Structure 1
Amino acid sequence: MLEIKNLTGGYSSRQPVIHDISFTVRPGEIVGLIGLNGAGKSTTIKQILGFLHPGSGEILFDGISTEQESVRFRKQVAYIPETPYLYPELTLEEHLELTAMAYSLNDRWKERILPLLREFQMENVLEWYPSTFSKGMRQKVMVLCAFLVQPKLLIVDEPFIGLDPLAIHSLLERMLQLKQQGTGILLSTHVLATAEKYGDRFVLLKKGRIVLSGKLEEMRKQAGLSGASLDDLFIHVSKDENR
C-alpha cells in the first residue's frame, strides 16, 4: 500500500533530517515508527503527507507516486497529529461536516458519526467551539474526523497525549477495527508497551536513519538481544554510540 524508497529530506535541502529511509505499510497491519525526540519521526510523516518536499527518494501509494496522484492519495489517507489543528470559528459539528465534504462522503456520514460521538463522549458538545475544549477534547476532534473517513491509510503521530484512559482504549479498539477492515496504519509513539502490543512491524530511527526494522523477533536478531522487549531494543540502540 505505502512504500517509502530511499527517502532523504527535511526542512532544508542543505541539512536533511532523514537519510535514505525505506519501509512499507501493508494493508491490514500496524507499523510502529519509533525513535527519540529529533530522530526524524515527524519529519518522515510530514514528507509522506506532502507537507515537506523530499530531497530524494520516492513515496508510493498503491504503486503510484504520491506527487503524481496527490489528490487521489489525500482522499484515501487520514491523519491524527500530535497537536490538534482546529478552526476556532467552527463548532465540532462543523468540523465533522467539513471533513465529510473534503472526503466527498455521502449524506450517511451523520449516521456513521453517532456511535463515535457516544464512544468518545462528545455527543453533547456538537455546538461547542474549540476555545471551550480541553486538550483531550481537542484531540478527540481529530480522532473523530479520522475515523469518520474510514481511510485506506491512517497515519497517527503521538495520539495518546491528553487523552484519558477510556479514550485511549477506544482509540486503540477503533484502530484494530480499521486494521481488520484492511486499513494500513503508521503509528508514531513513545508509548512502547502499547506499540509492542498492537504493532505488527516496527521502524526504529536514530539520527534520521533506520537502525532496526521488521517484526520484533527480526529486530532482536538484528540487535543480538534474544527475548528483548521493544523497550529494551529502543534503549539499547539509543545508547549505543556505534549505531
Structure 2
Amino acid sequence: MTLKVSNLVGGYSQIPVLKNVSFEVHTGQVVGLIGLNGAGKSTTINHVIGLLTPQSGKITIDGITLQENPESYKSKIAYIPEIPVLYQELTLKEHIDLTIMAYNLEREKAWVRAQRLLKTFRLANKLEWFPANFSKGMKQKVMIVCAFLTEAKLYVIDEPFLGLDPLATRDLLNLIESERQRGAAVLMSTHVLSTAQEYCNYFVLLHQGKVRIQGTFAELREAYQNQQADLTEIYLGLTQEVTEHE
C-alpha cells in the first residue's frame, strides 16, 4: 500500500494554503504530519480523503486517484477526524452497523472485532446509547472504534489525542502499533510532538503550507546537526530559521 502526494497545491479558496507538498506513506509506516496550528496539516488530510480537490498536483493510493476510481480509493481509507462526526438519531450499535455496511464487511466477523474494540475503550455497555450525547472524549472513542473496525489499508488520523484521557491515549497508540504490524499504513497529524517522536517512524514537517523537511527521526537530527535534539526542538528550530529568513 502506498499513498503518494505529489506537488500538491490546494486549500479552501483560490489562494493556496498548500504549496507543492510531496510525501509518501507506505505499508507498515506511521507517518507523523507535524506542524503548528495553521501549518496545513488538516488541509493536507482533507485533500487525501477527498473533501478538497487539488488545484494542482496529484494524490494516489496504490497508483489510483480518487477521480479515476472513487470506490476503490475510498475503500482503502479509514478516517478519524479532529472533531467527531456522529448521527444524532443513531445509537452506538447503529453507528457500528452503518460502518459495517459502508465498508461491506462480513457482519459476524466485524462484530467480533467491534466487541473487542468496545471493551478496550470501555464502551461495551453503551451499545444502546446515543453517542451524539456523549462527552468529547467518548465521542472520539466511537470514531476510533468505527475506524479501526474496518481493518483498512490506510488510517488517516487528524489530531487524535484531543479530549482523550491518558488511558484512552495509550489504548489508541497500542492499536495504531498493532495495525502497523498487521501491515496497515498510518498518516497521523498531531502537534503533540513528544508522542509523535515516540510512535512515528517517519515525519513530514509542515510550515506555512510547505514541507520544511521530512525523514526519519535520525535523519531529522542529522539535518538539524544535533544528535541530542528532541522533535520539538528540531521543529521549532527549523521553522524559526525559515521565518527569520523571510
Structure 1 and Structure 2 fold alike (TM over 0.5): yes
By how many angstroms is 1:191 displaced?
0.9
**Is the contact made by 1:8 and 1:16 (CA closer than 8 Å) also made in structure 2?**
yes
The aligned residue for residue 242 of structure 1 is 245
| SS across alignment from 1:19 | strand
The aligned residue for residue 82 of structure 2 is 82
Q: Distance in 2 between matches of 1:57 and 1:48?
A: 12
By how many angstroms is 1:235 displaced?
1.3
**Is the contact made by 1:36 and 1:238 (CA closer than 8 Å) also made in structure 2?**
no
Q: Distance in 1 between matches of 2:132 and 2:25?
A: 36
Percent identical pairs in the alignment equals: 48
Q: Distance in 2 between matches of 1:179 and 1:44?
A: 21
**Is the contact made by 1:78 and 1:155 (CA closer than 8 Å) also made in structure 2?**
yes
1:21 aligns with 2:21: yes
The aligned residue for residue 137 of structure 1 is 138
Q: Distance in 2 between matches of 1:223 and 1:15?
A: 31
The CA RMSD over aligned residues, in Å, is 1.1
The aligned residue for residue 34 of structure 2 is 34
Q: How does 1:22-171 map to 2 (within 5 A)?
A: 22-108=22-108, 109-171=110-172
- The one-letter code sitting in structure 2 at the alignment partner of 1:17 is V
**Is the contact made by 1:203 and 1:212 (CA closer than 8 Å) also made in structure 2?**
yes
The aligned residue for residue 8 of structure 1 is 9
Q: Distance in 2 between matches of 1:223 and 1:97?
A: 48
Q: Distance in 2 between matches of 1:31 and 1:107?
A: 31
* Superimposed CA distance per residue, residues 133-181 of structure 1 (whole angstroms, 9 cap, x where no aligned partner): 1111100110000110010000111101111111111101010010001
Q: Distance in 2 between matches of 1:36 and 1:119?
A: 31
Q: Distance in 2 between matches of 1:73 and 1:135?
A: 30
The aligned residue for residue 210 of structure 1 is 211
Q: Distance in 2 between matches of 1:49 and 1:131?
A: 23
Q: Distance in 1 between matches of 2:165 and 2:18?
A: 33
* Superimposed CA distance per residue, residues 191-224 of structure 1 (whole angstroms, 9 cap, x where no aligned partner): 1111011111100000000111001121223233
By how many angstroms is 1:227 displaced?
2.6
**Is the contact made by 2:132 and 2:139 (CA closer than 8 Å) also made in structure 1?**
no
Greater shift, 31-40 or 219-228, is seen at 219-228
- The one-letter code sitting in structure 1 at the alignment partner of 2:73 is F
Q: Distance in 2 between matches of 1:103 and 1:230?
A: 36
- The one-letter code sitting in structure 1 at the alignment partner of 2:158 is D
Task: With the length of structure 1 as denominator, give the TM-score of the two structures.
Answer: 0.97
Task: With the length of structure 2 as denominator, give the TM-score of the two structures.
Answer: 0.96
By how many angstroms is 1:78 displaced?
0.3
Structure 1 residues 223 and 67: CA distance shift in structure 2, 3 A: farther
